[in-house]
Amino acid sequence: MLVIPAIDLRNGKCVRLVEGRLDRETVYSDDPAEMARRWEGAGARFLHLVDLDGAFAGKPQNRRAIEDILRAVAIPAELGGGIRDTETISAYLDIGINRVILGTVAISNPSLVEEACRKFGSERIVLGVDAKDGMAAIHGWDSTVTKTAIELALEMKQLGIRRVIYTDIKRDGTLMGPNIESTKELALKTGLAVIASGGIAGPDDIRAVRELEPYGVDSVITGKALYDGRLDLAEALRICQE
C-alpha cells in the first residue's frame, strides 16, 4: 500500500484546511517544492497535489508552484483542483503530472470524464469523490448534490474511470481518523481501486486502512498528521510493508 503525502497549495504556499474551510487554514511552508523534496527524502513514492485556489475558482491558479514541485523531485505526482477541460488536463500531463484528478466536473460535465479516459487513458485520470454525510460534494466542498458518493463512482466507472480518491470532508484535516466503513463500502460496491483520504491521525489509522487492502484500497493520503508530527512517514511506510 502506498502512503501518499499531500501538498495543498493556496497562494503559492503549502497549507492545510480543516473540513475544506478557507477560514481554518494553517500555512506550513512558503516553499512547496522544498516540502516535496522533504517527503521524497523520507521515502515517499508518490505525491498528492491540490490546487485549492483552483478548486474554488474553477480554473488553475498555482501552476508555478506545481511546476517547481515537479522540477524538485523525481517521484510521480497526481493533481486535482479546478480542472474542467481537456486542454488543462493535457497541459498538466505535458509538464509531468502523472495522474489528473477530476471531481466537480464529473457531476457538471460527465462527458468530459469519458473523453479524458478515452483520450489520455484510464490510468492517467482519477475520480475525486468528496463526500459529506455520504453525499457527493462539489465546488471546493462548498455544496453537495443529490447523489451519493457510491452512485457517482458507479456512473463514472461506466465512463472509463478505474481509480477513485475517497475523502470524507467532515474528517479532512481534523485528525479524527478515516471513515473506514464508508471507504470499505465504496471499494466493495464499485470494484474500483480506492485511495483513502481524510482524517489520518497517526500510525493506528494507517494500520486500519491497510486492513482494507484486500478490498481494493491500495493507497492512503495523509497531510496534517505528517505536518504536525503526529505521523512519521518512515514509520507509516514500514507499517504498509509489514
Catalytic residues: 8, 130
d(CA 156, CA 149): 11
d(CA 19, CA 36): 23
The x, y and z cell numbers of residue 131, run together, are 463526500
d(CA 189, CA 191): 6
d(CA 234, CA 226): 10
Q: Strand pairing partners for 168?
A: 131
For the chain, give the longest Cα–Cα distance: 43
d(CA 135, CA 152): 9
Assess contact for 8 and 50: CB atoms under 8 A. yes
Assess contact for 1 and 213: CB atoms under 8 A. yes
Q: Cell match 479524527: residue?
A: 176
The x, y and z cell numbers of residue 227, run together, are 505536518
How many CB atoms neighbour CB 241 within 10 A? 9
